Amino acid sequence: MTPLRQRMIEEMRMRNLAPGTQAIYVGCVARCPALRALARGLECRECP
C-alpha cells in the first residue's frame, strides 16, 4: 500500500467514515487516472 493511500484511509478512519464509504472513495481515486498522476507528483507533507 502506498503512503498516500494509507494516509487517506487513516484520515477517513479519524473522521469516522463508514467502511463502505472508505472503500468507495479509495476505489474512485484508484480508477481516476488524473488523480493518480497528480498523486505521483505530490510530496506528502503534514498541514501546519
Tell me the pLDDT tens digit for each residue of 6-45. Answer: 999 999 999 999 999 999 999 888 877 666 666 666 654 5
Within-domain flag for 25: yes
The pLDDT value recorded for residue 43 is 54
Do the Cβ atoms of 5 and 36 come closer than 8 Å? no
Q: Which domain holds residue 29?
A: 3-41
Within-domain flag for 47: no
What pTM value is reported for the model?
0.61
Q: Which among 5, 3, 2 has a CA at the least distance from the CA of 27?
A: 5
Q: Which helix (H) or strand (E) is 26 found in, with range?
A: helix 19-31
Q: Total structural domains in the chain?
A: 1
**For the packed helices 19-31 and 3-14, what is the interaxial angle rounded to 10 degrees?**
150
Within-domain flag for 46: no
Largest CA distance in the chain: 30
Within-domain flag for 8: yes
